Amino acid sequence: MENIGELLALTTALCWTMTSMLFSEAGRRIGSLNLNLIRLILAMGIFMTFLGLTGQPVVPYNASAQLWMYLSLSGLVGFVFGDLFLFRAFVLIGARLSMLVYSSVPVITLFLGWIFLRETIGAEEFLGIVLTLTGIATVVLFRAPAPHEPDPAEIIHRKKRFTQGILFGFLGAVGQAGGLIIARFGAGTEFSAFGATQIRVIAGIVGFSLIFLFTRRFKNFFSSIRNYRAMVLVAAGAFFGPFLGVSLGLRAAQLTTAGIAATLMAITPVLIIPPSVILYKEKITPLEILGTFVTLAGVAILV
């Protein structure tokens, strides 16, 4: 089937749309740091179940030491470094601006792919990437603002949070792009995307566990587990995110260039508009509609 990599990248974007909504609700209940570790632990259980049912090793011990090294590094860069900063950016500047900065992932991925993977793209593909990123930026930048005016006494504090949030959002984008490139480089195009992602998840669990150990937050972590509703949301998010979404995203990068895959996966801010309108009654501006059509035009060129 032609363009299977591009179609998998679009499926990944759908998975991340569902995951972002599920994790957003869960994060309000148990906090972003607890959410990060719990989602990876649950994803690990899903991986072991899936691999066992499909007759594969529940842990990819058949992977070489070099593969483990590259994919573990990818997990630390993507899941720990990238997500740690991205989740913090959401807290500091909100989802709208965070996603605007995070939309730089495809550009960073293209740059890193050119340097480390020697990937190149044609003029038509470049046009598709430009249109897609332009549409995403339009949608995210011109979202209808919330009816809230900041307290003048908090202006200085808000400026500091804004600066930190922009920086953290960019670092989150660097982590996501770097993790994808390292995983693509380590796994090549043949090794199982699910097995590769499982190794990345294991590294992420180790990384976040060390953070909890050094910051002495395990007591709060165990209390979060008792929040049943949050656990249901995290479990669903772990399935569509670290398990299915990340695995399909890596497979997409194996079947097409990493830059194109990252661009298509970055349309999540556009895809999240319909459920936001239906579930949260958010208003859509004319520029958001325009941005949506520009994004879809770019996707059509890439696919």
pLDDT digits (tens, 9 = 90+) for 240-252: 998 999 899 888 9
> Is 149 part of a structural domain of the chain?
no
* Confidence (pLDDT) at 229: 92
**Between 158 and 39, residue with greater pLDDT:** 39
C-alpha 241/C-alpha 116 separation (Å) is 26
> Is 147 part of a structural domain of the chain?
no
* Confidence (pLDDT) at 99: 73
**Between 160 and 208, residue with greater pLDDT:** 208
* Confidence (pLDDT) at 81: 94
> Is 146 part of a structural domain of the chain?
no
> Is 148 part of a structural domain of the chain?
no
Q: Is the pLDDT of residue 261 over 80?
A: yes
> Is 272 part of a structural domain of the chain?
yes
Q: What is the mean pLDDT of residues 77-85?
A: 92
> Is 214 part of a structural domain of the chain?
yes
* Confidence (pLDDT) at 244: 93
> Is 192 part of a structural domain of the chain?
yes
* Confidence (pLDDT) at 151: 60
Q: For residue 86, what are the domain limits?
A: 4-141+158-302
* Confidence (pLDDT) at 210: 95
Distances (CA, A) of 274 to 4, 183, 190, 262: 25, 32, 36, 22
3-state secondary structure of 143: coil
Classify residue 242 by its DSSP letter. I
Report the candidate in 292, 291, 180 with the shortest Cα–Cα distance to residue 245: 180
> Is 132 part of a structural domain of the chain?
yes
C-alpha 279/C-alpha 99 separation (Å) is 20
8 Å CB contact between 199 and 63: yes
Based on the structure, what is the number of domains in the chain?
Answer: 1
User: What is the pTM (predicted TM-score) of this model?
Assistant: 0.81
